[in-house]
Amino acid sequence: MKVTIDAERRIGVRDRMLYGQFLEHFHRQVYGGVFDPGSPLSNGDGLREDVIEAVRRLDVPILRWPGGCFVSSYHWLDGVGAEREPVFDKMWRVEDPNTFGTDEYVKFCRAIGCEPYICTNAGTGTQEEMSDWVEYCNLDHEGRYARMRIANGSREPFAVKYWSVGNENWGAWEIGAKTRDEWGHFVREAAKMIKHVDPTVELSAAALPDVDWNLGLLRQCSDYLDWISIHQYWDAIHETNNASKFDQVVGMMTDLDGNIVKVRGLLDALGLSDRIRIAFDEWNLREWYHPKAVTIEQGVTKDEYLTPRDGNDDNSLYTMADAVFSAGFLNVLNRNCRSVGMACFSPLVNTRGCIFVHPKGIVLRPTYFVFDLYANHLGDVVLDDWCAGGDTVTVADPSGADVTVPALDVLSTTWEDGHAVALAVSSRDRARAHGLEISLDELAPHGKVTMLTLNGPSEESYNDIGHTDVSIATRDLGAYHPGMRVDVDPHSVNIIEIQR
Ligand code: AHR
């Protein structure tokens, strides 16, 4: 494949918030995940220091909390102040001790250096309860909730800028689900009250890539919304599909941007695309792909990290296929940076997260390193490159049919000061290496070329407790020269940086 790059052909500047994360009261994401007051690995606030250190390396811009479906029966007042009672979490059917609430969440955001993004209860909650939460977080001292925050030990407001009304309230599984007609009205009244309390906040609302649902929402609420929130978990798989797991994951990548295109089209048609951006605030592969196996080494037994609360959280194995998938979706987000301004990988830790937390430490899964590469080594200006020729691979699409896709997926970026060009290149071929010819003569006649490669010995490689197969290797490829050709290893995710 040959990629031709012209730094004048800009798609746009991507928002850092595309590399956001999500944290839900679900399995061991919070309790026994980021928050574990009894652990010797936690700080005085009960937050795991090893997790904080790993997350800081990713420069996470924004963290959505507390759900997910959890939020649709969560009452924030249960999670603040000295007197807190455990409550039964009606969604996930476990007891939530409420020891991690708004103050603890904001402390965690401060510790990892990110913006908080609070999703409110539009299931069993009221619009007034939402605006009371905004008052608790953002008003200086006016009103009983701001004074409650001060009494709870935080004199300064939390200044939470990003809020969302509801989570997947269109879904039959969601507690307090709403009909399309109810939703627009409900969100408008919530948005009105929230923005009366703090006009500076940015507001999103749960939506679908569906014209009818979004029309109802946008017709009633577009004056109040800054974002429209959509989610996607890719899991369609054909029962008779005999392709390898890696090839099935690659097959799913044929329609990664479908939902973005649908929502953007509607925003365009309604003349709203300059004002309302897409928050893709939950995304990932679903569990079906991941073998439920646990490597128990270093004296950590299953009993030590599984409690009745989290019987399903058994550290499935996440492989290079997850890494290639995640890189593919981050490429799509970058290419759509004019309409998508925020995205949250779901979740940050445990279940399908990029970090696995156990009582004696953490495991950095392959997806962790994808965020490391994208957040720390790509430029923020996305370029409209031109890829031509090159090999293809035939894989299985979600219906089980054969589909042929380019073997390499390339995203080109630069920086405003133009000091370098950085390409993200991932290989959708699990077996063979492929050559990439890079043509950017106008840009970098003699610049130094460095290649960072995330990979393991096979497409099934994973990291687990006492088992590290996946890591980043750095290679110096010398000076750029016209017609330069780079070999891209099978099932790898790479960044190629060319200094100007
Ligand atoms: O991550 C689990 C659930 O998946 C979230 O609670 C929900 O928003 C999504 O459907």
In the predicted model, what is the mean pLDDT of residues 242-246?
A: 80
Expressed in angstroms and rounded, the spacing between residue 168 Cα and the centre of ligand 1 is 8
Residue whose pair of structure tokens reads 């709403």 in the numeric block? 178
What is the distance between the alpha carbons of residues 119 and 151, in angstroms, rounded to a whole number? 24
- The confidence band for 289, taking pLDDT boundaries of 50, 70 and 90, is low
Whose C-alpha lies nearest to ligand 1, atom 3?
68
Contacts 24+ apart (CB under 8 A), 294-302: 294/464, 295/464, 295/465, 295/466, 295/467, 296/465, 297/465, 297/466, 297/467, 298/360, 298/361, 298/465, 298/466, 299/360, 300/358, 300/359, 300/360, 300/465
Ligand 1: does its nearest atom lie under 6 Å from the Cβ of 346? yes
- The pick from 282, 284, 350, 352 for probing ligand 1's pocket by mutation, whose C-beta has the most ligand atoms within 8 angstroms, reads 282
Q: What is the pLDDT of residue 255?
A: 87
Residue 288 has pLDDT above 60, yes or no: no
Expressed in angstroms and rounded, the spacing between residue 463 Cα and the centre of ligand 1 is 24
Whose C-alpha lies nearest to ligand 1, atom 2?
68
Q: What is the pLDDT of residue 444?
A: 53
**Per-residue pLDDT tens over the stretch 61-116:** 999 999 999 999 999 999 999 999 999 999 988 899 999 999 999 999 999 999 99
Expressed in angstroms and rounded, the spacing between residue 277 Cα and the centre of ligand 1 is 21
- The pick from 231, 313, 344, 351 for probing ligand 1's pocket by mutation, whose C-beta has the most ligand atoms within 8 angstroms, reads 231
Expressed in angstroms and rounded, the spacing between residue 28 Cα and the centre of ligand 1 is 14
Whose C-alpha lies nearest to ligand 1, atom 7?
68
- The two three-digit tokens of residue 469, written as one number: 């197969």
User: In whole angstroms, how far apart are CA 151 and each of 99, 146, 193, 200, 481?
Assistant: 17, 9, 24, 24, 64
Q: What angle do CA 208, 211, 213 make, to 5 degrees?
A: 55
Mean pLDDT across the chain: 92
Expressed in angstroms and rounded, the spacing between residue 343 Cα and the centre of ligand 1 is 15
What is the distance between the alpha carbons of residues 265 and 151, in angstroms, rounded to a whole number? 47
* DSSP assignment of 111-130: HHT-EEEEEE--SS--HHHH
In the predicted model, what is the mean pLDDT of residues 117-135?
A: 98
Q: For residue 167, which atom of ligand 1 is closest to its CA? A: 8
- The pick from 25, 69, 286 for probing ligand 1's pocket by mutation, whose C-beta has the most ligand atoms within 8 angstroms, reads 69
Expressed in angstroms and rounded, the spacing between residue 380 Cα and the centre of ligand 1 is 29
- The confidence band for 235, taking pLDDT boundaries of 50, 70 and 90, is confident
Residue 441 has pLDDT above 70, yes or no: no
Expressed in angstroms and rounded, the spacing between residue 173 Cα and the centre of ligand 1 is 10
**Per-residue pLDDT tens over the stretch 137-180:** 999 999 999 999 999 999 999 999 999 999 999 999 999 999 99
- The pick from 168, 234, 288, 350 for probing ligand 1's pocket by mutation, whose C-beta has the most ligand atoms within 8 angstroms, reads 168
What is the distance between the alpha carbons of residues 339 and 275, in angstroms, rounded to a whole number? 10
Q: For residue 68, is the peptide bond before it cis, meaning its omega torsion is within 30 degrees of 0?
A: yes
Q: What is the pLDDT of residue 290?
A: 59
ipTM confidence score: 0.98
- The confidence band for 7, taking pLDDT boundaries of 50, 70 and 90, is confident
% pLDDT > 90, the chain: 80
Structural domains in the chain, sorted by start: 2-8+382-499 (2.60.40.1180), 15-377 (3.20.20.80)
Q: What is the pLDDT of residue 310?
A: 47
Q: Are the beta carbons of 29 and 348 closer than 8 angstroms?
A: yes
What is the distance between the alpha carbons of residues 430 and 413, in angstroms, rounded to a whole number? 25
**Per-residue pLDDT tens over the stretch 464-495:** 888 899 999 999 999 998 889 999 999 999 99
> What phi and psi values does residue 104 have, to the nearest 5 degrees?
-70, -40
Expressed in angstroms and rounded, the spacing between residue 349 Cα and the centre of ligand 1 is 14
Residue 303 has pLDDT above 70, yes or no: no
Nearest Cα residue to 437 out of 475, 476, 485: 485
What is the distance between the alpha carbons of residues 116 and 160, in angstroms, rounded to a whole number? 6
Q: What is the pLDDT of residue 111?
A: 98
pTM of the model: 0.95
